[in-house]
Every structure is written in structure tokens, then in C-alpha cells.
Structure 1
Amino acid sequence: MDILSELLSLLKPRSYITAGFDAGGHWALTLDDLAGRIKCYAVMSGECWLTMDGIGDAIKVSAGDCFVLPSGRSVHISSDLQTKPIPASEVLDPNRSGEVVTYNGGGDVLLVGSRFEIDGCYAEFMLKDLPPIIRVDTSSDKAKLRLYLDLMMAELKEMKPGAISVAQNLSHMILAQALRLHLQTANEREVGWFAALLDPRIGKAMEAMHSEPSRSWSLKALADKVGMSRSSFAAHFRRRVGETPMSYLTRWRMVCAAERLSLGREAIAQIATSLGYASEHAFNTAFKRVMGMPPRQYGRRRQQVSLT
């Protein structure tokens, strides 16, 4: 399985709402319901602005743009940069799935998209390296994403039997395609595992660790895998990913372990061995350091959550 597919599989995004937003005049909203969620929207017509406190310049999105909000931080969306935003939760029904909501008269900008609930147990580890706002151009050769968006908009407008189910399935396809397109066009100066997949050598090393997490990888073995010297590989990996190869490998192993612990089907010793640890004690130490609690406690907590 490729790394992007693994990300979506582990996060288990569940489409919570799929809706349209038709706004007019001067307006500004703060999307204040993003904690533990990913939002993915597309501008079907018109234009608006995205801003986030403490994060760079305002971003203008126009018809043909798609944007993903994966960080959980509040984002302001507005018709202009002068109008003071109010919380979106004060004016939008959180259970409006399937509706096209008209706000402030409508007619100037039309958005369509979904809010995804995600598994919070290791979402921070998987999403922390993604940009807080991902903007994707859906025009020109981005035909698949545009097709999915048009189909979703048609489902929401026509509301034929099964429309909400179809729209939610389309929303998953839109999210995956938007992240894929961002991966193809990400800035080479971005730091983090997601952007590093663009680097042929670093991406190859990461794919190797993901495909064989139980292997006793050494810095030299990974460097040899991609045809680099050990020192050059270590420096290049840290510059692109933001951490050392061994730190990344440990973090990925713990994410895999967390998923298996949450299912409660395997003994800890079995998980430890399958992920390359010589002893359960060594695995327990690594897990607690990365995840903040012992694996047994983590497994019990996750299983209790799944029962509620």
C-alpha cells in the first residue's frame, strides 16, 4: 500500500456532513469546529478569502479551487479582509448534511464540500506535517477532481433517493484526489514526511520503511537503498522530513502498533516482535516515549472508546 493510502486508511475519515454554502454581500465566518476533523471544500463559483491567525498571508480562492484544512486550527473564511468574522457555529446548523445553505442573500460565492471526523488517537502524528491550509487548483488537467465535484453538486441539488450516501462517497474521493494533487505540486522547500515524498531518494527510503517496518533498518542500509552515502542521506532526510530516519521509523512503527492495539486482537509481545523489537520491554519503552503512555494502557483506553 502506498503511503497516502496508508494515511487515509489509518485516519479512517468518516464523512460527517456533505453540504453546499451559497453566500452573498459582505460576510466573514470563523470555522471553529475543526478540532479532530478535516474539511475539504471547493469553490464552484465566485471567490472568497482564507486566513489563519499567525499563518502567513491571506489566501484568495476562486472558482476552480479546492482547499483542504487538515490541521484542526480555526480558519477564517470571508468575502473580504475587512469584515469581522463571527463563529460559523452561530449561523450554520452542524447537522445540515445534504443541504445547500444560503447565507446573507447568497449569489456571490458557492462552496461545496465535506467535514470528516477522523480517528484522533494518532491523527496528530499523521497530520502535523501537512500545511494548515492546502490549496489545489482543480481547473485545466485536474479533470477527475472537477468531475467528482460536479457530481457532488448535482447530488446535493437534485436530492434523488440515496443522494446523501452518494455525495459522501464522492467526498472521500475528492479528499484523496485533492491530497494527491497537492503531493504532485508541493513546494520543494516544504518540510515534513508528506512533502518529502516528492524527493525520489527520500520517498524511496520512506516507502521501504513503510513496507518493511519489522526490518532491522540501519542508517547505512537505508542510505545504500537509495544510493547515497550515510552522512549525505542522514542530512538530506532530516532537511526534507524534519527528523532523523531512525526517529521517523520509530514513529511509524508506533502508529502501526497503535492501530493494532486498538483492535485488541494481538498480544503486546506479538506486536513487538512483528515490528522488529527484540523484547517486549524495548517496545514498551519506545511506545511510551512516542505515544505518551504504556501500550497496555493505550490499548485498554482505545477499546473503551470504541465501545462507547
Structure 2
Amino acid sequence: MLYSSIYLRKSPNMSTDPFSDILKFTNAESLVTGGFNAGGAWALRFPAPEKIKFFAVLKGECWVIIDGEAEPTHFRTGDVGLMTAKRAFVLASDLDTKPMDAMSVFTGARSGITTLGDGSDFSQLGGHVLLDPTSGRLLADVLPPWIHVPAASPQATSFRWLLEQLVAERANDLPGASLVAGQLAQMLFIQILRAHLQTSSPMPAGWLRALANPRLAPALRLMHGEPARDWHLEDLAQACAMSRTTFAFHFKKTAGVAPLTYLTEWRMRLAEKTLREERTSVATLAQSLGYASESAFSNAFKRVTGRSPKAFRNAGEILGEVV
């Protein structure tokens, strides 16, 4: 199915959720991979993750020491962390214990769970977030290297139920447990991102910061709801109850690009996905994204991506054959 054509069948008055759009676009999928229980003094050094990694402290507390970070972070029961940077890190009961290699400790662990010491003081659960190798950069590139959501923060309230359910699903060998655990892990990942969007710390200009801005939300919903429509600056500004000048300034300051540039870039993201995954003709794709001609679309695509639609599709096919 042509991804962009989904939008064309929506009612003109139907709002959408740009954040959900982007998560779907990047094929974000969360998986619980294991965890460990520990007692006494312990420390584990993990290699730099190739994927986005998340973990939660279910019981007890620990220190998290990340390569490149000036100070260690103290995690308590219910705290959740998300690491997007490819950096090695250490989890430890204290800062003086020499860390063991985590991979050797987990080798042969049943269901990815292992025990250090008597396992009575500490419990941790972790997993990965899988993203599309190409479109996933849209999300991975705007996230900070490291997110820590303390259990005491207002945003963490929903984590408690999710973590309890994840533990229960892994403990009880019930039909469909792996599927349920995957859905819960996906919800946990989304809640971590929501907490990050609501944080008071400033984010760099970009689409993620724009999504977190309630004043710009109406314009983003319009552009994501009907990307093929010939939106004008006046339409978008009016939806946000701002003048054209104020809206254009506020949007660019927050998103890093002008409103109609954002629209064009989102259209090209949809086009890239379609060219990779479908056999839709370039002419049909151009029409579905609101371009009057194939040449107009091709020029816009090349301007944004650096390649023509045909060259982009051919490169994807060659890569698929190699893989």
C-alpha cells in the first residue's frame, strides 16, 4: 500500500498525531532482552550498544557510569534509562568495585536473566529499540545520547504499571507472553519519549522540539494529516492563532526550518519510504504527494535528498540484493 495515499483517504477535518506518524515511519519496535538480579558488591561493564538500549531498575539502586559522561548517575527503584549513543557503560552497586565483562556473565543465561551473588539486593530489566536502518535516523539523530527518567518525576507514574506487567509476563509462562511483553516494552519506550518531550531542559531546534510545543501542534497536525494539500503560510498561522510573521518566526526558531520547508521534507520522507518499499510509479507518487507533475516532484526530491527518485530506488534495490 502506498504510505502517503493513506493520508489522501482521510477526512479533511480528521486530525492526526505527528509523533505516532514518525514512530510508524521509523518502524520503531521495542524488545525486552533480559536482565539480572544481584546481591552484595557487584559491577558489570557493557559494550557500546549497536541499538537504542533501555533499562529499568525494578529493585534496589545502582550507579550508571557512561563513557564520555563527566559524572555517574544514581538510579533508584523505578528509574528508567534510555541510551541512544554508542558508548560503553558500567552498572555497579558502588563506585569502587572493579567491573566484570557483562557479555561473559550473560553467556548461557536462561531467558537472558542472570544472577550475581545471592541476587537479593537488586533487580534490573533491559531491552533494545529496533529502528529501520534508513528511516530510523529521523528519530535516532534527534534524541540525546542519554535520557534518565527518575521514578519520582511526574512523568514516571505510568512506568510503574508497565514495569509490573513486564515482570509478570516474563515470570508467568502464559500463551502469548512474548507478544504481550513486546507491546508493553513499546509502551515503555513511548512513555520515555513523552517524558523527554515534557522535560524542562532545552532541546535543540528540530522536529522533536516542535512536537513538544503546544502552540505549533495545530499546524503540525494539519501538515501530517494532509501532506498533499497545497498549504499556505496563512492557513497554518491561522490554525495556531498567530499572525503569519509571528508563526513563521516561532516555527523556524523551534523546528529549525521554515513551515513549508518542514512540509516538503516530510513529503520527501514519505516518498523515500514508498520508493524503498513499493513499486508505485514516480508519476503516481508525485500526484499522491500534491505535485502537479512528475518533473516538479523529481526536482524537489533531488533538491532535498541529493538523488533523483529513480536513482534512490535503484540504490535501494542494489542494497537489498547485497544484503
Q: TM over 0.5, yes or no?
A: yes
Alignment-mate amino acid for residue 46 of structure 2: T
| Coordinate RMSD, CA, aligned | 3.1
Q: Does 1:186 align with 2:202?
A: no
Query: Which residue is 1:131 aligned to?
Result: 144
Number of aligned residue pairs? 303
Q: Does 1:164 align with 2:178?
A: yes
Query: Which whole-Å CA distance do the structure 2 matches of 1:134 and 1:221 have between them?
Result: 36
Shift of 1:119: 0.6
User: Which structure's CA Rg is the greater one?
Assistant: 2
Shift of 1:129: 1.8
What TM-score results when the alignment is normalised by the length of structure 1?
A: 0.82
Q: Does 1:43 align with 2:46?
A: no
- RCO greater where, 1 or 2, for CA within 8 Å and sep 6 or more? 2
User: Does the 8 A contact of 2:56 with 2:125 survive in 1?
Assistant: yes
**Equivalent of 1:33 in 14, 34, 49:** 49
* Structure 2 residue matching 1:199: 3-state secondary structure: coil
Query: Which residue is 1:9 aligned to?
Result: 24
User: Does the 8 A contact of 1:66 with 1:135 survive in 2?
Assistant: yes
Residue pairs, 1:158-237, within 5 angstroms = 158-183=172-197, 185-187=198-200, 189-191=202-204, 192-237=206-251
What TM-score results when the alignment is normalised by the length of structure 2?
A: 0.79
Query: Which residue is 1:22 aligned to?
Result: 37
User: Does the 8 A contact of 1:19 with 1:96 survive in 2?
Assistant: no
User: Does the 8 A contact of 2:56 with 2:81 survive in 1?
Assistant: yes
Give the direction of change, closer, same or farther, for the CA distance of 1:154–1:251 in structure 2 (3 Å limit). Answer: same
Deviations 1:218-265 (A, max 9, x none): 334322321223332222222222333233222211211122222214
Deviations 1:101-160 (A, max 9, x none): 224664443221321221111111233222222223445875543222111112223334
Percent same amino acid among aligned pairs?
35
Query: Which whole-Å CA distance do the structure 1 matches of 2:225 and 2:110 have between them?
Result: 38
* Structure 1 residue matching 2:54: 3-state secondary structure: strand
Shift of 1:63: 0.8
Alignment-mate amino acid for residue 33 of structure 1: P
Give the direction of change, closer, same or farther, for the CA distance of 1:199–1:102 in structure 2 (3 Å limit). Answer: same
Query: Which residue is 2:124 aligned to?
Result: 111
Provide structure 2 residue ranges, at least 5 long, that are not aligned to the other structure: 1-15
Give the direction of change, closer, same or farther, for the CA distance of 1:87–1:274 in structure 2 (3 Å limit). Answer: farther
**Equivalent of 2:80 in 63, 66, 75:** 66
Query: Which residue is 1:121 aligned to?
Result: 134
Query: Which whole-Å CA distance do the structure 1 matches of 2:80 and 2:305 have between them?
Result: 33
